[in-house]
Amino acid sequence: MTKAHIITYGCQMNEYDSHLVESQLVSLGLDMVDNVDAADFVLVNTCAVRGKPVDKVRTVLGDLRKQKHSRGLVVGMMGCLAQLEEGQQIARKFEVDVLLGTGSLLDIGEALSSNGRFWNLAFKDEIHDHIPPPPQGKLQAHLTIMRGCDHHCTYCIVPTTRGPQVSRTPESILRELHMQLEAGVQEVTLLGQNVNAYGIDQGRRVPGIPSFAELLRLVGDTGVKRIKFTTSHPMNFTEDVVLAMRDTPAVCDFIHLPVQSGSSRVLRRMAREYSRETYLGHVETIKKHLPNAVLSTDIIVGFPGETEADFQETLSLYDEVGYDSAFMFIYSARPGTPSYRHFEDLPREVKTERLQRLIEKQKEWSARKNAAYVGRHVEVLLRGDAYDANFLEGHTRGNHPIVVPKAVGATGAGIYTARIEHATPHTMYGKLLGLDGQVLPELPRFNPEAAALSAPLPML
């Protein structure tokens, strides 16, 4: 095998894990290629949180099995689904050669050097200290600060697939961050199943590990321009985190705080360990110290036993908080979870109808929130070309997607200032500004020669 390709499904942590394994493959002498057809080895990084990504894995493994028989392709599977009996049955059915659990990613070399099927699903008691090389040519990077979760929400498979919480040492985190900064990274997102609980593993404070609020201040002292984090659990959300955000300029005023339901009764069935009132208290604390904070959330619609009255409480909570955006999902029963074993699912048509109403609510609030930015000057991180080569796409410090025309001195990735000209519920549209606050002349039709001739604009 000389060429490899990784297919990634799921969350940002899966993206980070794929980068970690990719670095291992490169160190073994394999070349990473952009498509399956050019690869000798294809590794599928899987998600098991909902049924849809599992169905996608079945489909892709079916296609890969055909290539396995026709041209000798070696097929691997990793990630959360690999850790479950359901995933192992799928791996047997589709003749997967390499199966790596979430705690065994560094064993990829041993797996490829074996002559037969290699399966390793062992959990590790402590987080590995292997640091992948920083992403090249990118302004953004993910940085895992912990793995696993000590909560046991009745709908969630994560404690089974990723094990109990293990916090990474601040020394290791900062060492990786400094490598990212040297590579040109300007925005880092700290990752964990529950970042607020960083340093408190299995209910005990880990010696030598600071609190999450203290970690935010340490990361902010490195000179990184932007810091984000995900995901927060309301049970562990504390005022000192908000104060650290307020006092650390690099931390973006963006908080993703999953509520899952606006009904305290449903939250108890979910075993979320907080009530509607507790959650709203956190929101009040955020707005007190960070009045311009951008709030997003996760909401599960149609959890077993959810009544219309419960759903109305979710709608009213949405209005009370005024979220800028939300990830909304129909409840998906996952084998191995308490809710799958003990609760009766609601009819799909009921869940779908409620989801549509919630989506309409989200669109109303997102449109209202985004419209308030029209005419304002905002800092934007541009990643590169948008849907049209004459435009750039990126996001604000509040994580709002934004599209701007390419302009003289600004034709690629970087951090700039933009004036918002128009906004929809999902995207903002703006004009790039120079250091004097004036709109930069747009390139009438972008081409490489025009970009090369344009004077570079000093970035913020």
Give CATH 2.40.50 domain extents, the chain. 377-453
Are the C-beta atoms of residues 110 and 144 closer than 8 Å to each other? no
The CATH 3.80.30.20 portion of the chain extends over 140-368
**Other C-beta atoms lying within 10 Å of the C-beta of residue 171:** 10
Residue 56 has pLDDT above 50, yes or no: yes
Percent helix, strand and coil across the chain, each rounded to 5?
A: 40, 25, 40
Is residue 452's pLDDT more than 70? no
Task: Give tens-digit pLDDT for 375-411.
Answer: 999 999 999 999 888 999 999 999 999 999 999 888 8
Cis peptide leading into 46, omega within 30 of 0?
no
Instruction: Map tokens 């939250």 to a residue.
Output: 267
pLDDT of residue 460: 42
pLDDT more than 90, % of the chain: 81
- Rounded to whole angstroms, what are the CA distances from 204 to 165, 212, 312? 11, 14, 38
CATH of domain 377-453: 2.40.50
For 240-243, which contacts have Cβ atoms below 8 Å and span 24 or more sequence positions? Answer: 240/211, 240/213, 241/196, 241/212, 241/213, 241/216, 242/285, 242/286, 242/289, 242/290, 243/213, 243/289
Q: How confident is the model at residue 116 (pLDDT cuts 50, 70, 90)?
A: confident
Contact in structure between 413 and 383 (CB atoms under 8 Å): yes
Which pTM was predicted?
0.89
Average pLDDT over residues 164-192: 96
- What pLDDT, on a 0 to 100 scale, did the predictor assign at position 211? 97
Structure tokens at 358: 């919630």
CA 263/CA 265 separation, integer angstroms: 5
Res 126: pLDDT: 57
Sequence ranges of the binding site for [4Fe-4S] cluster: 11, 47, 80, 149, 153, 156
Helix (H) or strand (E) holding 16: helix 12-27
Question: Does residue 423 contact residue 370 with C-beta atoms inside 8 Å?
Answer: yes
Annotated binding site: 11, 47, 80, 149, 153, 156
CATH topology of domain 3-120: Rossmann fold (3.40.50)
Cα–Cα distance, 287 to 283 (Å, whole number): 6
Given a cut of 80, is residue 64 above it in pLDDT? yes
The pLDDT of residue 458 is 39
Q: Tell the residue number behind the tokens 């099927």, with chain if given.
A: 117
All CATH 3.40.50.2300 domain ranges of the chain, comma separated, are 3-120
Which fold does the domain 140-368 belong to in CATH? pyruvate-formate lyase- activating enzyme (3.80.30)
What letter represents residue 85's amino acid? Answer: E
